[in-house]
Amino acid sequence: MAKTTNINDLKYGHTLVVLLFCVSFCISSIIVVEARQPFACDPKKGITKSLRFCETRLPIHVRARDLIGRLTLAEKIRLLVNNAISVPRLGIEGYEWWSEALHGVSNTGPGVKFGGAFPGSTSFPQVITTAASFNQSLWQQIGRVVSDEARAMYNGGQAGLTYWSPNVNIFRDPRWGRGQETPGEDPVLAAKYAVNYVKGLQGAGSGNRLKVAACCKHYTAYDLDNWIGVDRYHFNARVSKQDLEDTYDVPFKACVVEGDVASVMCSYNQVNGVPTCADPNLLKGTIRGQWHLNGYIVSDCDSVGVLYDSQHYTKTPEEAAAVTIKSGLDLDCGPFLAVHTQGAISKGLLSENDVNNALINTVTVQMRLGMFDGEPSAQPFGNLGPKDVCSPAHQQLALEAAHQGIVLLQNLGKSLPLSTRLHKTVAVIGPNSDVTQTMIGNYAGVPCGYVTPLQGIGRYAKTVHQNGCTSVACGDNQHFGYAEVAARHADATVLVMGLDQSIEAESLDRTGLLLPGHQQELILRVAKASRGPTILVLMSGGPIDISFVKNEPRISAILWAGYPGQAGGAAIADIIFGSKSPGGKLPMTWYPQSYLSKVPMTNMDLRANPARGYPGRTYRFYKGPVIFPFGFGLSYTSFSHKLVEGPTQVSVPLLTSFRSSSTNSTMLSKGIRVTHTECNSLFLGVHIDVENNGPVDGTNTLLVYSSPPKGKWAGEKQLVGFHKVHLVAGSRQRVKIDVHACKHLSVVDEFGIRRIPMGQHTLHIGDDLKHSISFQADLGEIKS
């Protein structure tokens, strides 16, 4: 980290930044870990030979049941919680289930310890920033890197293998403090992010094996932390069946069905009067019954205690223990089940077999991870060590992820990119201009190192620095005069403003969308004083109402950087000076401040209700004024799209049992139930030529939306696919978007039933192309 202080001396290339990052960590790769942590099924221990659960030739389900059968009830109960006890008589070590890897291996949970051979890990951009890349291969690649580093730290005895990430809740309300952790407001985007990140983390091991075990959280309809006296521990989310099926559950279903995630976490809140961790319809019925989870269900930390102590859902703690385990909860993050499960069994509320059913799910995941296969170094990934954490390649990927996630929101007169020839001195101003921890957001670990915006810009030009405000709260304007002087004497000015974890965070929702304190005043005064172009860079997880900037021509360009990770300052500078071209798109709508007065954060409805003056939520259902829309993002070049091939008519095959003339007209008028069709493999291939018509190389993020036939169930349009392609100036590339007919072109009725409307669907391809597809039912031989 100390080496990055000389970053202003560098003039060219981001590879050098990564090499500077690596100096201290490369040294750590030669450190020998002398004391190997003890492990289960150690072949050097005599007891191992008599334990069937240590026999790797046996099927995992046989081994898991053998292990559970050897445990006493007291031992079983102490394995129901995150800090599971050791069982020395069976050679089983204690295990801490709680580790986090939202955008890098994190020490937020107690399962990860930095220090010694592992002083830190690669800290990627916060999820909302990475989501703005709309790049599925990038998300999976980040997952692979994070799991490499997690396995390396596990091999060194400083981490576990169960990571409670990703957060795939929908960013429903712009005030939510944890929106930064999510992939944004769109369910298809969130689902695709979830599937790719989970696959990256868990690997493609043979025979149901896992590299690490991911966990999709927080199920379900959880997106309020602490807003004007309402907190997540007491909130009852009233959600329609339609919104649950159409939006809130979509990424979780994708996690389980497509991503084969090893765990799902239930949330603090109630849904329609029932705590999620005590709802058998959600846990046993949906996650395990309908979606067939191959893994375990864990509570958010202290959720079981919360439903008893705070929500008073049960009269006794024993009833709380019983109802959660019987509903399908397998693991309690917290001590509650360790304390009260025995009492529940003694009172006849729970049986030992119920406990066994929970343990079979957790133990099976541990065995899939190889935790009962003996010597870790002899297993897959056993060769990973300190050299594989904070490696140059991993840090380069963190930089690339930041490049891809930064969004260009405004560029008047093509003021960006700046020129190293014309802009030799740059004033760098603002409370986020030289920050470190702000760039990594929440649920982060200890980064390999930092490059701040000031340091990054110093690679390209001489810098003059003024914070202007001592913090993002910007409580006074005492130092604004110094900032104005700096801007007046520089060839260009970069203002780095926005938010941090003191404004938006877990347990801290926002009350407004404006910039805090006197930030607006600082921006306008500096822009007025600036001798050259003024560039505004915003760091934030949520949207900000900056309508005042859009009416100020002296602010030439605006970049949203989210929370761009350990290399964020280098990425921002590379975009500003044109070493990289921006290609990110906003994964959430930026609303005006006035929107908030019409939408209480406690109202979970997505669809607008004009009769009540309720405007709706997200781009799918809200049609009022915005600062910037979902999917918005500019480039330094221009692109055009041409449809090469796409279906114009689609016949949806019905199951034979539903080819009845008596129900035919009803089905066609309402739309066909997806469950009545044979369209699981019905993909519509749309081939598009993307051309870079501009003067410079650039990255095109192609978004494809669908508009169904007019009806009361669907929004005006819905994202159905996206593709990212980098093109040199003047070049063209053909891309294919696969649209799943049942999944992406269906709508959900008021009863939560997914249907495919018959008639004309319209695909919106980029900003300049539309394509119509007519849907009809393939009735085959109609029964009389």
If one counts every other C-beta atom within 10 angstroms of the C-beta of residue 315, the result is: 9
Q: In angstroms, rounded to a whole number, what is the distance separating the alpha carbons of residues 776 and 16?
A: 58
Per the CB < 8 A criterion, the answer to whether 729 and 696 are in contact is yes
Q: In angstroms, rounded to a whole number, what is the distance separating the alpha carbons of residues 199 and 210?
A: 10
- Residue-by-residue DSSP string for 733-754: EEEEEEEEHHHHS-EE-TTS-E
Sign of CA dihedral 288, 291, 293, 297: negative
DSSP 349: S
Q: Which residue has the tokens 């896992």?
A: 210
Specify whether 300 is catalytic: yes
Collapsing DSSP states into helix, strand and coil, what is residue 595? helix
Beta bridge partners of 227: 230
Which of these is catalytic: 223, 249, 300, 373? 300
Nearest C-alpha neighbor of 641 from the set 690, 596, 697: 690
Per the CB < 8 A criterion, the answer to whether 721 and 705 are in contact is no
Phi, psi of 666 (to 5 degrees): -65, -45
DSSP 623: -
Phi, psi of 373 (to 5 degrees): -105, 10
Q: In angstroms, rounded to a whole number, what is the distance separating the alpha carbons of residues 739 and 687?
A: 11
Tell me the residue type at 256.
Answer: V
Nearest C-alpha neighbor of 603 from the set 593, 589, 613: 613
Nearest C-alpha neighbor of 353 from the set 334, 321, 326: 326
- Residue-by-residue DSSP string for 371-397: TTSS-GGGSTTTT--GGGSS-HHHHHH
Is omega for the bond preceding 218 within 30 degrees of 0, making it cis?
yes
Per the CB < 8 A criterion, the answer to whether 479 and 462 are in contact is no
Q: Per the structure block, which two tokens stand in for 304? A: 């079981």
Beta bridge partners of 756: 672
Tell me the residue type at 690.
Answer: V
The catalytic site residues sit at 300
